[in-house]
Amino acid sequence: MRISDDKLNKLAHVIADTLAETDECEFHEDRNTIRQESRKMLAKLFAEELKIDQAARLKVSSHKKNIPEGSQEWEILYRKYYQEEVKKLGL
């Protein structure tokens, strides 16, 4: 999934704010540092997800028969290949 920088920043703010409000969580760094690290982790996660998506789409498109995207068969194959890629990365 492609996500804009603004949305990524908003998510990082929400994460930092939520953690700050949680009694079980104690910061050893300032909130801005937590937000920046959250943003880095989210960006990495979304980049990995994009790679997984692209690999799954490539596998579906490389089938001998031309399977139209959005069809039930395409969706089944996509989910199968997506899960295979996730397992490869150990996620």
The rounded mean pLDDT for the chain is 91
Q: What is the pLDDT of residue 35?
A: 93
Region 55-66: mean pLDDT is 90
| Over residues 41-57, mean pLDDT | 93
Once rounded to an integer, what is the mean pLDDT over residues 53-75?
91
Mean pLDDT of 72-80: 95
Range 44-52 average pLDDT: 92
* pLDDT (average), residues 28-55: 92
Q: Which residues of 56-88 are buried (b: 16+ CB within 10 A; e: fewer)?
A: bbebbeeeeeebeeeeeebeebbeebbeebeee
Reported confidence tier of residue 23, pLDDT bands at 50, 70, 90: confident
**DSSP state letters, 32-88:** HHHHHHHHHHHHHHHHHHHHHHHHHHHHHHTSSS-PPTTSHHHHHHHHHHHHHHHHH
Predicted local distance difference test score (pLDDT) of residue 1: 63
